[in-house]
Amino acid sequence: MSIVAFLIDFHNQRPGLTAIALADLPITSGAQHYPSTYALLASVVPVNAAETSVLDLACGDGFLLALLESRRQQNLHLSGIDMSTGELHRARARLQASTELIEGTAQHLPWPIESFDHVLCHMAFMLMENVEDVVREICRVLKPSGTFSAIVGASAPPSVVIQAFKTVFPKYQRKPGLEKVRFGDPRTRSSEGIRELLSPGFSNLVLKDVQITLRLTPEEVWDRFTNMYDLSLISVSDGDSVREEFLPLIHSACGAEGKLDYEENLRYFSAQRC
């Protein structure tokens, strides 16, 4: 199975998981605080612009587009594209009819040149195949001086949770057909790699690390892992075994209230089309 087929199947079966995991989590980026990663991305789009067109790339269930809709901003034209029909079905139910939704991929965007002032992408750019093609397509559909802004994954800080994950998960084989599935281009997960990917067509790159800090019970940590791709790569029966091994390894780090610190790192970037 290809990464594209895996992602489509995952999101068709479990639409809305990204928003469930991140929509209500406050984040810190340097000295700035935001209600969520979605709010950080939405802040890129100016409130007082005379007329603005926005594309949400891999829009999922439409949470980011709904956040922009909630401004009730005149002359704000919104579009979204996703390859999961399950996600798009939820998005259509959430969004106004005036918001355009299209089934498709980032490698072949169905809009003419210079269609958008802003392209936004929440937690998907780092999963995409042929990422150079994606960057070229984004550059093509952006207007001159338009911006491409995204939230992507980044390496998690060392912790008891991450050490337990690295100890347990590699013991288990993937489901047949999923052995060679790899998520995206490694360059999308580092500042240097992002700089390299965007350098041909973009300038004025801004990069910010984003921290999510949680205080969770071990069972709550496990619940967050069940919403991630890694657990879906192994069999259901093995998933039960992973849980039985994983939880005792992190119980030892809990305080008196039965909780432990759990941190996730993400990365925000924004660049301007040359």
Residues contacting 194, CB < 8 A, separation 6+: 152, 187, 188, 205, 207, 267, 269
Return the structure tokens found at 213.
């800090």
What's the CATH code of the domain at 29?
Answer: 3.40.50.150
**HEC sequence for 34-71:** ECCHHHHHHCCCCCCCCCEEEEEECCCCCHHHHHHHCC
Q: DSSP E strands: which ranges in the chain?
A: 27-29, 32-34, 52-57, 76-82, 100-103, 116-122, 142-153, 202-216, 260-273
Q: What is 232-248 written as a DSSP string?
A: HTS-HHHHHHHHHHHHH
CA dihedral of 43, 45, 46, 52, whole degrees rounded to 10 = -160
Averaged pLDDT, 68-74: 94
The predicted pLDDT at position 238 comes to 82
More confident residue, 130 or 236: 130
Residues contacting 4, CB < 8 A, separation 6+: 83, 105, 129
- Yes or no: say if 78 and 65 are a contact pair by the CB < 8 Å rule: yes
The predicted pLDDT at position 15 comes to 96
Return the structure tokens found at 20.
């469930």
What is the Rg, in whole angstroms, of the alpha carbon atoms belonging to the chain? 19
Identify the DSSP state of 183. Answer: -
235 pLDDT tier (thresholds 50, 70, 90): confident
2 pLDDT tier (thresholds 50, 70, 90): confident
Among 60-69, 78-87, 238-247, which is the least confidently predicted range? 238-247
Give percent of the chain above pLDDT 70: 100
CA dihedral of 157, 162, 166, 172, whole degrees rounded to 10 = -140
Residue 186 has pLDDT above 90, yes or no: yes
219 pLDDT tier (thresholds 50, 70, 90): very high
Averaged pLDDT, 207-234: 92
Tens-digit pLDDT profile for residues 163-176: 999 999 888 889 88
For residue 264, report the phi and psi dihedrals to the nearest 5 degrees: -125, 140
- Yes or no: say if 58 and 81 are a contact pair by the CB < 8 Å rule: yes
User: What's the whole-number average pLDDT of the chain?
Assistant: 94
Q: Which domain holds residue 115?
A: 3-273
How many structural domains is the chain composed of? 1
Residue 237 has pLDDT above 80, yes or no: no
Averaged pLDDT, 11-26: 95
Residue 116 DSSP SS3: strand
**At how many degrees (to 10) do helices 236-251 and 218-226 cross?**
150
